Amino acid sequence: MSHNHRISNRNEKRTLIVIIFTVIAMFAEIVYGYFTNSMALLADGYHMGTHALALGLTFAAYILMRKFNTEKIGTLAGYTSSLFLGFTGLWIIAEAVHRFFNPLEIRFEEAIIVAIIGLIVNVVCILIMECKHHHEIDYNFKAAYLHILADALTSILAIGALFAGKYFHFIYFDPLIGILGGILILKWAAGLLKDTVVILIDLKPKFGE
């Protein structure tokens, strides 16, 4: 078995474990996001949902890579995941803008507890997937890693927004944090999209660059 295949097999197992954690946290955050009227928490939950789909795509790509013995399938999956990531960022921004002009009463205590649980799940998943060297040569795995990293970011922002609303009564902080998170996610998606497109179309720099 080649070095790249060993890395792919290891990353495939890590991805499956992370999918399980992500799906559980996703359901918890969506349900409690609706129950507590927290845009930050709801956005984080739906964000996890798109990541669960993207992670599923990552896992499927590893299976196809074994069957057809080509690394480009993983890069194509990374490209597709970057699109998922971009659409997620746009949705979060649109929903946050809507909530900015149509605020709802938030049940802060329940929302904070679930957001912290979501963050813990994200941190565990990051620790499972953390291996910078593998990210550099496996865009499929890098895409999955960025999805989880984006989940952790939105969880942190959601917790900050909820605390600000609870203790400082700044209700607009919740949608503002949603907009900020969406912009950062779009930036990550653009970077991954650029990296994968270069490989998929075999784009090479001009001589001397």
Q: What is the pLDDT of residue 194?
A: 83
Least Cα distance to 165 among 40, 71, 42 occurs for 40
Q: For 160-182, what is each residue's pLDDT tens digit? A: 888 888 888 777 777 887 788 78
CA atoms of 157 and 154, how far apart (whole Å): 5
**CA-CA-CA-CA dihedral for 179, 185, 186, 188, to nearest 10:** 150
Residue 203, domain member (yes or no):
no
Residue 183, domain member (yes or no):
yes
Residue 69, domain member (yes or no):
yes
Residue 102, domain member (yes or no):
yes
CA atoms of 30 and 36, how far apart (whole Å): 10
pLDDT beyond 80 at 159 = yes
Amino acid at 178: G
Determine the average pLDDT of the residues in 29-52: 75
pLDDT beyond 70 at 204 = no
Query: What is the span of the domain harbouring residue 110?
Result: 3-198
Q: Number of folded domains in the chain?
A: 1
- Report the CATH number that the domain containing residue 57 is assigned in CATH: 1.20.1510.10
Q: At what angle do helices 39-68 and 173-200 cross, to 10 degrees?
A: 20
Residue 204, domain member (yes or no):
no
Amino acid at 98: H
